[in-house]
Chain A
Amino acid sequence: MLRMTNISKRYGATEVLREVALEVRSGEVMALMGENGAGKSTLVKILAGIEPADAGTIEIAGEPVTIRSPRHSQAAGVAYVAQELSIVESLSVAENVFLGDTDAGLFRSPRSLSTKARPFLLKVGLEQVDPLELAENLSVAERQLVEIARLLSRKARIAILDEPTAALSDAEILRVKGAVRTLADNGCAVIYVTHRMAEVFELSTRVTVLRNGRSFPSIETASLTVDTLIEHMLGRKLEQMFPARATRMGESVVELDQCIGHGLLAPISLSVRRGEILALAGQVGSGANAVLRMLAGVLPVASGTMKLRGAAFAPHSIADSIAAKVAYCSDDRKRDGIFAVRSVPENLSAPALDRVSRLQMISPVMESRHTRGIAELFGIDLAYLTRLAGNLSGGNQQKVALGKWLGIEPDVLLVEEPTRGVDVGARAEIYRHLRSLAERGLTVIFASSDTQEVLGLADQIATFYHGRMVRVVSAESSTPESIVRDVIHPTLAA
């Protein structure tokens, strides 16, 4: 269906794509994989007409086509679902399904539009959603599914999905996966960009790997294992993804006694030791994040008591928790994790301005020493220090968002989704750095909906389901199945 050959693209001096080839058949799901910055996004944007290619040819159904704008691309039967969803919240679900569809006609009654939308919603598993409901009432996953329904309604011959599950929890991912299968079953050629290994193996028929702007011949998914795929992506053998667990842990540092806050339905009691990494495993809305937010001073504790280093701890603001050497990193890096328009050193010194200034003036010497210290501890390439944080790849942005907290020498680090939107290589690095910090006495509590990460990184795992803590188990005695059962349907667990 699609054949892209010799696609090249450069931005100034940087060559982003070099003679890349991509070929996809009708009815198959082609996974497009590669580290951040490997050129995946650029390649799909060229196909979607958002970026022009410098060289190369594109054939669709055997016909050479010229794609210079999104309009060309749509006319050629290509549909693109970007990472940032294009759902109009103030319109109904049905209107969103037919958004931009010129054939739908200008004046359609809501009822007829709704009748027309229903079969497409059915196909993506949204049969319980009222087509007349406003899109703002939908969850992120449901919006993602509406986008896929839109692809179906347009009878796209080629569908590009750019990380459709990046912001979803495991249960929601299941629905999106089902919808993607429907797309392929309808004869669509699907290009699926993702970081999640599990999806590649469940969904795709073949995998095309991009590395440093070059493509490699596609591989049948059936002939791959997780390890060989990672090797392909990194171009070398991957050292173990997860570091070893804690060997020794100290006294109890954080204690929660019968704590309740917004988002929790039952009181939580927990104890975390010095040097321990505790995972709060749960789907979106399970209450796992609420525990972190109470400790960070963002969410008021309705009842119960918290203790830090043996003393009562009741932070009323982030500033309070920072003063108590408790650092908190939310799951929305863009919103409150980094200063995109400021340089990396300015980002890294932001929580610790008093450590880099003397007599109320910032000392460039102290700031540079501070920055380099963090960069070394967290593996941030010194070459990035002159850049704006917003220009870094997702993995490096996350290192900046996490690394800046090392400046206050925290005792406790609270992290939501430590590796969201981070590629495999940087992910392993972040795990390694978190573990080595824990070995030096840092207590890490992280919330995650990624089962692999929960099992691999943590010493102890607290599982959450619908506002309640299910149990606390040691990571060693857990299996992926036991965790998933706890966080999806704990009543089935023994």
Chain B
Amino acid sequence: MSIMTDVSPSAARRRSVPRFVWVIAAIVALYLVAGVITPSFATFDNMLVIVRAASITGIVAIGMSYVTISGNLFALSAAALGAFLAVIFALAVGHLGFAAGLAATLLVAILAGMAQGLSISVVGNPIITTLAFSTVFRGLAALFSGNSIVRIDSDIALALGTGRPLGVPTQSWAFIALALVSWALIRRARLGRLLVLSGANPQTAIASGLNVRLATVVAFVALSVGVAIMAVFTVSQFSQAKADLFAGYDFDYIAAVLVGGIALRGGQGSPLQAALGAILIALLQNFMLLNGFTAGLRMTVVGGLVLLATGAFHLLQRRLR
């Protein structure tokens, strides 16, 4: 029998609305507002456009969520790695065929993820490490492509890049599948639990006999695989690769994670939140495009949304304390 009389004051308040509910609410609200203001918005066709736009960003954002959840903030090397892997994929498909190209790309991606993860366990700072890797990857992309466009001619690739099974783009199928698999992995797999606990408190994780270094490596391999999928889809869709692909996209991936409400401190949140964040940003971008917002204005609004979201989640957290 317990003689504790714990009236921890915050306990009752703590069971509050989960963050992803806020994101879904924001998506629904934006959808309704946009639907009323812009008639062409809430059509089935436009929905497909949005899902496709969200898919490419979302695939990487899901990968990025592994990094954030495992307590490594985020990577600044995703876009550059994407360009490098795109060049590798295009070259390998040209020389070895589609299947071998795919395998080579995945292999390089996994190695790139391991290299980053291991370097971070030595350097200690994911931001600085991935910033350096970003330059390395961009340089390798230029080196391998000879600074020119690498074209491919593969029917399988074209089918993969432009196909629409059941009317839905292949990119979106991959996005949905990846979101569900990642959710299950983080939620239910032993490896996912290792990531979550390492992010929640690395010292306690080490003291519990867990391999925190492994968690970091796994997180970066997961991100790199997400980046590889993006690179393969993009090269397949446009039948070409070049060294400056995805330049400037890094903020979008991070924005999706932040808008989705994944805590930067790590150990909390789910890849589904990053997926929802990507959808919210895609909705907003689409709405602004339909209404003829300029590129500069769109950038400003997305940046503002990230500030607003992180600020709101921070206040929410504080109030719970």
State the A residues within 8 Å of B (CB): 11-16, 35-39, 42, 211-213, 234, 318-319, 322-323, 328, 330, 335-342, 346, 350-351, 353-354, 357, 360-362, 379-381, 384, 387-388, 391-393, 395-396, 404, 425-426, 428-429
Across the interface, B9 reaches (CB within 8 A) one of A16, A339, A379, namely: A16
Residue of B10, B189, B209 contacting most chain A CB atoms (<10 Å): B209
Q: Are B6 and A342 in contact (CB under 8 A)?
A: no
Known: A13-B12, A387-B11. 18 other contacts (CB 8 A): A12-B13, A36-B4, A37-B4, A318-B209, A330-B207, A335-B203, A341-B263, A342-B196, A350-B210, A354-B190, A361-B189, A384-B6, A391-B14, A396-B4, A404-B208, A425-B5, A428-B3, A429-B4
Q: Are A381 and B11 in contact (CB under 8 A)?
A: no
Q: Are B4 and A426 in contact (CB under 8 A)?
A: yes
Q: Which residue of A lies closest to B184 (CB)?
A: A361
Please give, as numbers and ranges, the residues of chain A lying within 8 Å of B14 by CB-CB distance.
Answer: 387-388, 391
* Given the contacts A393-B6, A393-B8, A429-B3, A338 and B190 also touching, CB distance less than 8 Å: no
Please give, as numbers and ranges, the residues of chain A lying within 8 Å of B10 by CB-CB distance.
Answer: 11, 391
- Min CB–CB distance A433 → chain B (angstroms): 11
Q: Are A350 and B188 in contact (CB under 8 A)?
A: no
Within the assembled complex, what's the spacing in Å between the Cα atoms of A110 and B268?
A: 46
* Given the contacts A319-B209, A336-B204, A362-B190, A350 and B197 also touching, CB distance less than 8 Å: yes
28 A-B residue pairs with Cβ-Cβ distance under 8 Å, sorted by A, are A11-B10, A213-B7, A318-B206, A322-B208, A330-B207, A336-B204, A336-B206, A337-B204, A339-B200, A339-B201, A339-B205, A341-B265, A350-B197, A360-B191, A379-B2, A381-B6, A384-B6, A391-B10, A391-B14, A393-B4, A393-B6, A395-B6, A404-B208, A425-B4, A425-B5, A428-B3, A429-B3, A429-B4
Q: Which of B26-65 contact A (CB under 8 A)?
A: none
Q: Which of B145-194 contact A (CB under 8 A)?
A: 188-191, 193-194
State the B residues within 8 Å of A (CB): 1-14, 188-191, 193-194, 196-197, 200-201, 203-211, 263, 265, 267-268
* Given the contacts A37-B5, A361-B189, A429-B2, A14 and B203 also touching, CB distance less than 8 Å: no
Q: Which residue of B lies closest to A407 (CB)?
A: B208
Q: Are B267 and A392 in contact (CB under 8 A)?
A: no
Across the interface, A318 reaches (CB within 8 A) one of B8, B189, B207, B263, namely: B207
- Min CB–CB distance B222 → chain A (angstroms): 15
Please give, as numbers and ranges, the residues of chain A lying within 8 Å of B189 by CB-CB distance.
Answer: 360-362
Q: Are A341 and B4 in contact (CB under 8 A)?
A: no
Q: Are A425 and B7 in contact (CB under 8 A)?
A: no
Q: Are B6 and A212 in contact (CB under 8 A)?
A: no
Q: Are B190 and A360 in contact (CB under 8 A)?
A: yes
- Min CB–CB distance A398 → chain B (angstroms): 11
Please give, as numbers and ranges, the residues of chain A lying within 8 Å of B13 by CB-CB distance.
Answer: 11-12
Within the assembled complex, what's the spacing in Å between the Cα atoms of A213 and B7?
A: 9
- Min CB–CB distance A366 → chain B (angstroms): 11
Q: Which residue of B lies closest to A211 (CB)?
A: B5
Within the assembled complex, what's the spacing in Å between the Cα atoms of A351 and B206?
A: 10
Within the assembled complex, what's the spacing in Å between the Cα atoms of A360 and B184?
A: 12
Please give, as numbers and ranges, the residues of chain B lying within 8 Å of A384 by CB-CB distance.
Answer: 6
Q: Are A342 and B7 in contact (CB under 8 A)?
A: no
Q: Are A362 and B200 in contact (CB under 8 A)?
A: no
Q: Are B8 and A391 in contact (CB under 8 A)?
A: yes
Q: Are B6 and A337 in contact (CB under 8 A)?
A: no
Please give, as numbers and ranges, the residues of chain B lying within 8 Å of A338 by CB-CB distance.
Answer: 201, 204
- Min CB–CB distance B200 → chain A (angstroms): 4
Please give, as numbers and ranges, the residues of chain B lying within 8 Å of A361 by CB-CB distance.
Answer: 188-190
Within the assembled complex, what's the spacing in Å between the Cα atoms of A360 and B204?
A: 22
Main SS at interface, chain A: mixed
Across the interface, B208 reaches (CB within 8 A) one of A351, A388, A426, namely: A351
Q: Which residue of A lies closest to B15 (CB)?
A: A386
Within the assembled complex, what's the spacing in Å between the Cα atoms of A100 and B193?
A: 45
In the A-B complex, the 8 residue pairs with the closest CB atoms: A336-B203, A11-B9, A322-B209, A336-B207, A339-B200, A351-B208, A350-B208, A12-B12
Q: Are A350 and B11 in contact (CB under 8 A)?
A: no
Please give, as numbers and ranges, the residues of chain A lying within 8 Å of B7 by CB-CB distance.
Answer: 14-16, 37-39, 212-213
Within the assembled complex, what's the spacing in Å between the Cα atoms of A15 and B265?
A: 31
* Given the contacts A14-B11, A328-B207, A393-B4, A340 and B190 also touching, CB distance less than 8 Å: no
Please give, as numbers and ranges, the residues of chain B lying within 8 Å of A342 by CB-CB distance.
Answer: 196-197, 200, 267
Please give, as numbers and ranges, the residues of chain B lying within 8 Å of A36 by CB-CB distance.
Answer: 4, 6
Q: Are A14 and B12 in contact (CB under 8 A)?
A: yes
Please give, as numbers and ranges, the residues of chain B lying within 8 Å of A360 by CB-CB distance.
Answer: 189-191
* Given the contacts A12-B12, A341-B267, A360-B191, A381 and B2 also touching, CB distance less than 8 Å: yes
Q: Which residue of B lies closest to A297 (CB)?
A: B209
Q: Are A339 and B5 in contact (CB under 8 A)?
A: no
Q: Are A362 and B206 in contact (CB under 8 A)?
A: no
Please give, as numbers and ranges, the residues of chain A lying within 8 Å of B191 by CB-CB distance.
Answer: 360
* Given the contacts A12-B13, A318-B207, A404-B208, A37 and B200 also touching, CB distance less than 8 Å: no
- Min CB–CB distance B121 → chain A (angstroms): 14
Q: Which residue of B lies closest to A379 (CB)?
A: B2
- Min CB–CB distance A405 → chain B (angstroms): 9
Across the interface, B268 reaches (CB within 8 A) one of A318, A341, A379, namely: A341
Within the assembled complex, what's the spacing in Å between the Cα atoms of A3 and B165?
A: 76
- Min CB–CB distance B207 → chain A (angstroms): 4
Within the assembled complex, what's the spacing in Å between the Cα atoms of A351 and B210?
A: 7
Q: Are B188 and A362 in contact (CB under 8 A)?
A: yes
* Given the contacts A42-B9, A350-B205, A319 and B4 also touching, CB distance less than 8 Å: no
- Min CB–CB distance A235 → chain B (angstroms): 9
Within the assembled complex, what's the spacing in Å between the Cα atoms of A357 and B7?
A: 34
Please give, as numbers and ranges, the residues of chain A lying within 8 Å of B193 by CB-CB distance.
Answer: 346, 353, 362
Q: Are A340 and B201 in contact (CB under 8 A)?
A: yes
Within the assembled complex, what's the spacing in Å between the Cα atoms of A387 and B14?
A: 9
- Min CB–CB distance B131 → chain A (angstroms): 27
Residue of A12, A38, A39, A211 contacting most chain B CB atoms (<10 Å): A12
Within the assembled complex, what's the spacing in Å between the Cα atoms of A38 and B3?
A: 13
Please give, as numbers and ranges, the residues of chain B lying within 8 Å of A362 by CB-CB distance.
Answer: 188-190, 193
Please give, as numbers and ranges, the residues of chain B lying within 8 Å of A11 by CB-CB distance.
Answer: 9-10, 12-13
Residue of B188, B196, B201 contacting most chain A CB atoms (<10 Å): B201
Q: Are A14 and B9 in contact (CB under 8 A)?
A: yes
Residue of A361, A384, A404 contacting most chain B CB atoms (<10 Å): A361
Please give, as numbers and ranges, the residues of chain A lying within 8 Å of B8 by CB-CB distance.
Answer: 14, 37, 391-393
- Min CB–CB distance A411 → chain B (angstroms): 15
* Given the contacts A37-B6, A318-B209, A319-B211, A341 and B200 also touching, CB distance less than 8 Å: yes
Across the interface, A350 reaches (CB within 8 A) one of B2, B5, B204, namely: B204
